[in-house]
Amino acid sequence: MRRRLVAVITVAAVALVTAGALVIQQSSTPPEPAATSEAGGGAPASSAPGADSPTPDPTAALPGSSSTAPPGESTEARASEPDAPAAPGAAAPAPALVTLPLPDTSSAVGSVVAGFPDRVLPAAPQSSIASSSVAAEGSRLQAALAATTPLTAQEVLSFYSTTLTELGLVGAPVPAPDGSSALVFTRGVNTVTLTATPIAEGSEYTVFGIFSAES
């Protein structure tokens, strides 16, 4: 009986020693860190407190923006700047009809008088000159021409319409004697009056101009 009691006490002591060793071992083992594998779908750990973060550049352009305005300059102000002037497209001014000095007052029969402004009032093609004259006063010049031509009256009107329109004068029909046709051309204070009348050999016409000379 005594031996059996000793054996039980011995077994109980061994069990207590083994249990105490396990408790000590578990309390001295450090805990394992939590897994941070990204493979499991977990979010990456945040940066440590106090770590430097990138500072946005105030001069950087926003995505999709082409603005490269320097700091302090408004891109809105830059967008409102006027466009560069367009290339000149206006037509050149019409040349002067007559210029100073003006010719002396004179007239001629059967020919074109000296000083007649034939650049502005040329004779119609195939004309036979009956008379011509120029009269100057100050900066104003009057010029007249009478002639006949084998051209029809309508052809004479067309000839002067083309010639004077190219010089910037604008023509319009005006009343004329029976059987005749007349046009008046104007550009500013300058005027030209044309009258054409049919005749057996073609037509006869008179052209009379009043011009203001330019220096």
Is 132 contained in some domain? yes
Is 69 contained in some domain? no
Half-sphere exposure of 34 (CA within 13 A, CB side): 7
Q: Of residues 22 and 166, which shows the higher confidence score?
A: 166
Beta-carbon contacts of residue 157 (< 8 Å; ≥ 6 apart) = 181, 183, 194, 196
159, pLDDT greater than 70: yes
Residue-level pLDDT at 95: 82
What is the average pLDDT across 121-134? 98
Torsion of CA 38, 41, 42, 46, to 10 degrees: 60
Closest to 172 (Cα-Cα) out of 197, 191, 151, 153: 191
Is 134 contained in some domain? yes
pLDDT band at 203 (very low <50, low <70, confident <90, very high): very high
Contacts 24+ apart (CB under 8 A), 9-18: none
pLDDT band at 79 (very low <50, low <70, confident <90, very high): very low
Is 202 contained in some domain? yes
Is 147 contained in some domain? yes
Is 205 contained in some domain? yes
Domain containing 200 — which CATH number?
Answer: 3.30.160
DSSP state of 140: E
**Domain encompassing residue 206:** 106-212
Is 21 contained in some domain? no
Q: Of residues 121 and 30, which shows the higher confidence score?
A: 121
Mean pLDDT of the chain: 76
Is 201 contained in some domain? yes
Interval 10-42: pLDDT, tens: 554 444 445 444 444 454 445 454 444 443 444
170-173, strands of its sheet edge to edge = 106-109, 128-137, 140-149, 202-212, 190-199, 181-187, 170-173
Q: How many domains does the chain have?
A: 1
